[in-house]
Amino acid sequence: MCGRTACTLAPDEVRRACCYKNGRGQWRKPRWKDGDADKYRPSYNKSPQSMSPVLLSQKHFDKNAPVDECVLATMRWGLIPAWFKENDPSKMQYSTSNCRSENILQRKSYKDPLLKGQRCVILADGFYEWKRQEKNKQPFFIYFLQTQGLRQDKTKDHNTEILDTGCPPKKASPGLAKEGKAPREWTGWRLLTMAGLFDCWNPPDGGEPLYTYSIITVNASPNLQSIHDRMPAILDGQEEVRKWLDYGEVNSLDALKLLQSKNILAFHPVSSLVNNPRNSSPECLQPVELGRKKEPKPTASSKLMKGWLTSSPPSKRKRSDTPESKDHNKKAETQPRSTGALQQWLQRSSKKPRTK
């Protein structure tokens, strides 16, 4: 089960954070689908029905585009199948925020998009999951292990599609570090890449088409089984993302083979503040020490997380998508940029985020 995520990057940061290599071996920065950058709102606490950034093939919107060219779109979480006849999508009688990988071919809502090649990648800083305890549930934030120090990249965006920045390999983005051969400009937080399916629903009485998605889930990896028995299907690295999105080269059955439990994620406990989806602030992501009420001494995870969240001027980020975050953002815009936290983030620590 995956019922809550966080995606705090501004629209242009999302573009730079999910660069990809096309079939000709060129590194490209995906553009936003027309108008979709304005529909997306960063948030520390996204729930179903909210709008999130999704990566998919450009060919879904332009039949003349190469299938291996990607585009960013803003879609609503919770798949509404194209055949849904009601005028109000909220009248769906069952949840489609997640779909089990084992059942995709048994349920029409998911089988149809799969066979049409409507595969997408949902982008997020990470996701939240709750561990059942005797009296309550403890929330955890789960994300890609950040293997290199992060810094806020200040390279000017020239709005060019093909990346040719000439950056040395040592400055490669952690999210693309495995390939290590191409220059790139993003050195920030490595976004989690979750496999999903999407569909386009047209209101029977007319109106703007609604694009929605469902996150595919698999059995939890060994290091997450103590928290929950399910997890999102994670696509690890450029090659897996490419195969999942390239429905021209990779057929549906072969694509399903990519959906495996992967023991590659880090996690830490967070405050129960995240239990309320109306709460959207950096405190939702910050680590807490279990069994203690007062704020714990900073750990490697908390330095890493807090450093990234405070490393760039909040004024450059769009407002979060929940009303309660407005006051927080207004206060943040009056504060000077924190450089101390960023330095802490870059420093090597004797402890690492928990992965086992």
Active site residues: 2, 129
* Contact (Cβ atoms closer than 8 angstroms) between residue 328 and residue 278: no
The torsion defined by the Cα of 296, 298, 300 and 305, in degrees rounded to 10, comes to: 100
The DSSP bridge partners found for residue 111 are none
Pairing between β-strand 31-32 and β-strand 98-100 as defined by DSSP bridges: unpaired
* Contact (Cβ atoms closer than 8 angstroms) between residue 6 and residue 42: no
**Residue 105, helix vs strand vs coil:** helix
Q: What are phi and psi of 132, to 5 degrees?
A: -70, 130
* Contact (Cβ atoms closer than 8 angstroms) between residue 140 and residue 301: no
In Å, how far are 8, 173, 235, 286 from 149, measured between CA atoms?
18, 10, 22, 18
> Cα–Cα distance between 174 and 187 in angstroms, integer?
7
- The DSSP-derived string for 155-197 is ------SB------GGG--GGGTTT--S-----S---EEEEEE
What length does the chain have? 356
> Cα–Cα distance between 52 and 241 in angstroms, integer?
18
In the numeric block, which tokens belong to residue 238? 């450029």
